[in-house]
Amino acid sequence: MINYISTRNSDIKVTSSRAILNGQAPDGGLYIPENLGDIQTDYHSIIDKDFRGMARAVWNIFFPDYGDELISQLVERSYKDKFSAPEITPLVKVGSSHVLELYHGPTSAFKDVALSALPNLLTAAREMNDFHDQIMILTATSGDTGSAALCGFSDVPGTSIVVFYPDGGVSETQKLQMVTAPGSNTCACAIRGNFDDAQTGVKALFREIPHPVEGVSLSSANSINIGRLVPQVVYYFSAYSQLLASGEIKDGDKVDFIVPTGNFGDIMAGYFALKMGLPVGRLICASNKNDVLTEFLETGHYDRKRTFFKTTSPSMDILVSSNLERLLYYVCGEEHTVKYMKDLAETGEYQITEDELAEIKSVFVGACASDEEGAAAIRDVFEAEHYLMDTHTSIAWACLSKTKDAANAPSVVLSTASPYKFSRAVLTALGAEISDSDEANMKKCHEITGAAIPEGLAGIFERTINHKDVIAIDKMKQYVIDKSSKNL
């Protein structure tokens, strides 16, 4: 049976439900399966099912202490009637490649796949571990995580959620998605500051008031939780299964995946799929102008001391990709991982060895593309294929062109957001006129493509605004205490 250990101390060993409940290991490390050998399986026994069947099979391997029956219930609860596509993550052939659309969930971004699942895994873990406190989720967001988390936790018993976002620092669409969030246990609050202020504030609250009032415990919906990572492993199998069904590949053929990367969670899920036995070729890590991972995958030198750029793919704007620590553990071992993370904290950089780099390079390839290259990809693919990509997917598409090799393995580009969610930047890329209002921009995208605006996005302009609070940064603590004492 799989146990979870900390990347910084393998003596810290817990069950999967405990790892989900704790989020992060007490020593600051991340929970990972102790032995990669334990997750190995025959991929045929997974890909012959529909998406929910594949989810059951994958979750059963990673979360053995939940038991088969409970997992079946949790999968149903997580995916029934929440996604607009019957396949959940449909694969579309575009030109000579394929696009895996991960954005058919309620908030039109790929984070829905995991954040539909995490609340259910968490509440079950609470019961299994005899944990009686109410769980209050605290999240700082620059956009996508906030709305997906609000939606995932909405009316989930035993939980409540407070999302802090920078006032004036998110798009009109993203703001409306958050402030119109339903649910008696949800709350979105603007802070007068930028995203970093919001994030620093939230981190301080976890330290200062882990229990804001008696009977309430703070927790995080951050992508370092293994309960967010594992549900993402499923769609790599789904992609492979769809490629086989359409005759695009033969059984056993390797497939390359190109992943628009920020915190390294999505692509780490691909590494787990590979280690489970799925025929994965290369994992191409696509970055925007914030190219810290591109340099790392080329040289083995991770250096966060660089300029931070705001781009048109904001969910990939990042300097520290937390989930990379999980890969480091498997490749470099505990001792080196501890050293590298210490170096990163103290000096802002670290360097792995030649051998470690060679092993990482046997699977991972780094590439980056600028806003302009991403925009050109949106335009070119639309003109040639009448297929519209969002600004994150287009970075991956541009990186695919840069890393094509002679062997040309079949490739799958992971599409992480609906183009309607980033309508302004998408219209700009197409050379179309843009409006000050996102409602007009979405309609314009619709006129151009003829494809329907996703329900969850079309509705936000009419919905009631439920969350109006705007507070100063130094009021966050009191805000959380007030909300938890009133049960929101």
Ligand X SMILES: *Cc1c(COP(=O)(O)O)cnc(C)c1O
In the numeric block, the tokens 């609860």 are attached to 77
Please report how close the Cβ of residue 208 comes to ligand X at its closest, in angstroms.
26
Sheet of strand 470-472, all strands in order from the earlier edge strand to the far edge = 216-219, 134-140, 159-166, 186-192, 470-472
Beta strand extents in 361-436 (DSSP E only)? 364-368, 411-415
Residue 138: other Cβ atoms inside 10 A: 26
Which are the contacts of 71, defined by CB distance < 8 A and separation ≥ 6? Answer: 56, 59, 60, 63
Please report how close the Cβ of residue 285 comes to ligand X at its closest, in angstroms.
9
Phi, psi of 255 (to 5 degrees): -125, 135
* CB closer to ligand X out of 266 and 439: 266
Q: Is 299 helix (H, G, I), strand (E, B) or coil?
A: helix
Active site residue 82: no
Distance CA 299, CA 99 (A): 29
Which tokens is 141 given? 């967001």
CA angle 398, 381, 377 (to 5 degrees): 30
Which are the contacts of 183, defined by CB distance < 8 A and separation ≥ 6? Answer: 150, 153, 154, 155
Which are the contacts of 482, defined by CB distance < 8 A and separation ≥ 6? Answer: none
* CB closer to ligand X out of 256 and 317: 317
Which residues of this chain interact with ligand X, rule CB under 6 A?
A: 109-111, 144, 223, 260-266, 315-316, 392, 416-417
* CB closer to ligand X out of 265 and 300: 265
Which tokens is 375 given? 């925009």
* CB closer to ligand X out of 3 and 311: 311
* CB closer to ligand X out of 66 and 83: 83
Residue 368 DSSP label? E
Whole-number CA gyration radius for the chain: 21
Please report how close the Cβ of residue 417 comes to ligand X at its closest, in angstroms.
4
Please report how close the Cβ of residue 390 comes to ligand X at its closest, in angstroms.
7
Please report how close the Cβ of residue 144 comes to ligand X at its closest, in angstroms.
4
* CB closer to ligand X out of 193 and 260: 260
Q: 4-6 and 9-14: which strand pairing?
A: antiparallel
Which tokens is 366 given? 């780094």
* CB closer to ligand X out of 111 and 275: 111
Please report how close the Cβ of residue 110 comes to ligand X at its closest, in angstroms.
6
Which are the contacts of 274, defined by CB distance < 8 A and separation ≥ 6? Answer: 280, 283, 363
Contact yes or no for 321/292 (Cβ under 8 A):
yes
Phi, psi of 17 (to 5 degrees): -65, -35
Catalytic residue selected from 49, 82, 111, 404: 111
Please report how close the Cβ of residue 284 comes to ligand X at its closest, in angstroms.
13
Which residues belong to the active site?
111
